[in-house]
Amino acid sequence: MQACGKLTIYRPIQSFPSRPEQCEDKAWQESSYTASLINAIRARKEQLTPTQWEDLEVAAQFVFGKWASYDEKPRSSIEMTFAGMADKFLFSPFREKFSSAKFSFTPEQVTHEHKLVILDTPVLACGRETARLIQILIKLVFQRAWLRHSYKPGCCNGAMLVQDEFQMLMSRFESHFVQVCRSSAIAPIFITQTILNLAEEMGESQPGSKTKAFLNNLSVKIAHNNSSCPDTCRYMADLIGKKYQYIDNFHAGSGGPGPMHSSVGAARQLAHIVEPIEFTRLRTPDGDNPLAEAIVTLGEELFNSNSNCKSNYLRVLFSRDT
């Protein structure tokens, strides 16, 4: 993973020319980090693609032309805006992780070398926002690199992206990533307690179109016991669907002083295949029982149930010991 950060970027900004004619000054060219950087890149012209060379020329025209001709006040405002945005990279732990210009692992090692990368940035030790930002920055590097790779069957082993407490690690890139990552042989696994956690991160007070559209891109849903969130239970029940079922009814009463009368019957009504309350009754592990019960649904995929009937959901047991 390439680490650059504020120190690498801000150094050229500090040595931009302050007036148009300054770029012709030999003393400035010898002392300016920006000038030495651009000249060093130009010396490698044969190693650059035509597009990269054109990008360099556009950048040089901006630095030596537009930036140098700006009035001092708007120029200083731009510098302060960037400095305020990137100031955190001057301090620990961002300085060590992102501003050292050193790296020891790459996204390609996961997909091509069977490497496992574990990000462990404790929230209690670093603070919620610091821990969140560190992990999102690294995750975005991996996500973008994986999507840039032109995957062909057999070219690599692919990868899994496992995120516990996923609601803390969401970014604006997430929806796009889950829509296209399958073509790059990446399997995302997102773990969260309730659907409300995702709705809050997407700016919705209740699970709405954004939350449900995101979840629709995740084909496999695994629901464990959830006794604290009716919205999550209802969402899973709606996802599995409804069908017409016979609902029993009983009536008893008396129209006067005569004997009471009663009637028993049944009526077909549209009801959940799995009622929301069933998700609060799923077995949980304890000191004697290592098994956790779950209900799994896979979109339109049908499972063979114990009654030899096709079903769009399946009750399974996961062991915490394996």
pLDDT digits (tens, 9 = 90+) for 77-131: 887 887 777 778 878 888 888 876 677 889 999 999 999 999 888 888 888 888 8
Same domain, 66 and 24: yes
Same domain, 121 and 149: yes
Is residue 4 predicted with pLDDT exceeding 50? no
Same domain, 70 and 131: no
For 94, phi and psi rounded to 5 degrees? -65, -35
For the record, the structure tokens of 108 come out as 């390609």
Same domain, 116 and 172: yes
Average pLDDT over residues 272-292: 92
The answer to the question of residue 254 being in a domain is no
Residue owning tokens 């990008």: 55
The answer to the question of residue 72 being in a domain is yes
Average pLDDT of the chain is: 85
Containing structural domain, residue 151: 105-218
For the record, the structure tokens of 125 come out as 């030790």
Q: pLDDT at position 256, please?
A: 59
Residue owning tokens 């801000």: 10
The answer to the question of residue 12 being in a domain is yes
Residue owning tokens 């017409």: 244
Residue that terminates a domain, selected from 79, 100, 121: 100
Higher local confidence (pLDDT), 278 or 6: 278
Is residue 237 predicted with pLDDT exceeding 80? yes
Residue that terminates a domain, selected from 100, 124, 152: 100
Strands 313-319, 159-163: parallel, antiparallel or unpaired by DSSP? unpaired
Higher local confidence (pLDDT), 121 or 224: 224
Cis peptide before 93 (omega within 30 of 0): yes
For 95, phi and psi rounded to 5 degrees? -60, -45
The helix-helix angle for 50-61 and 33-42 (nearest 10°) equals 160
Q: 149-186 pLDDT, tens per residue?
A: 988 988 999 999 999 989 888 888 999 999 999 999 99
The answer to the question of residue 41 being in a domain is yes
**Is the overall model pTM greater than 0.95, yes or no?**
no
Q: Count of CB atoms within 10 A of residue 297's CB?
A: 21
The answer to the question of residue 50 being in a domain is yes
Q: How far, in Å, CA of 198 to CA of 240, rounded? A: 20
Same domain, 313 and 267: yes
Asked if 1 and 105 count as a contact pair (C-beta separation under 8 A), the reply is yes
Q: Of 162, 291, 279, nearest to 224 (Cα)?
A: 279
Q: pLDDT at position 23, please?
A: 79
Same domain, 195 and 120: yes
Asked if 142 and 175 count as a contact pair (C-beta separation under 8 A), the reply is no
Same domain, 91 and 170: no
Q: pLDDT at position 2, please?
A: 40
Least confident of 61-65, 88-92, 217-221, 267-271: 88-92
Strands 159-163, 186-190: parallel, antiparallel or unpaired by DSSP? parallel
The answer to the question of residue 258 being in a domain is no
Q: Quote the number of domains for the chain.
A: 3
Q: pLDDT at position 254, please?
A: 62
Residue owning tokens 């302050």: 18
Same domain, 54 and 17: yes
The answer to the question of residue 256 being in a domain is no
Same domain, 119 and 183: yes
Asked if 273 and 245 count as a contact pair (C-beta separation under 8 A), the reply is no
Same domain, 227 and 135: no
The answer to the question of residue 212 being in a domain is yes
Those residues whose C-beta lies under 8 Å from the C-beta of residue 126, and which sit 6 or more positions away, are: 93, 134
Same domain, 312 and 243: yes
Q: pLDDT at position 12, please?
A: 80
Per-residue buried b or exposed e for 167-180, using 16+ beta carbons within 10 Å of the residue's own CB: bbbbbeebeebbee
Same domain, 62 and 135: no
Q: pLDDT at position 304, please?
A: 73
Residue that terminates a domain, selected from 100, 123, 142: 100
Q: pLDDT at position 19, please?
A: 83
Higher local confidence (pLDDT), 292 or 321: 292
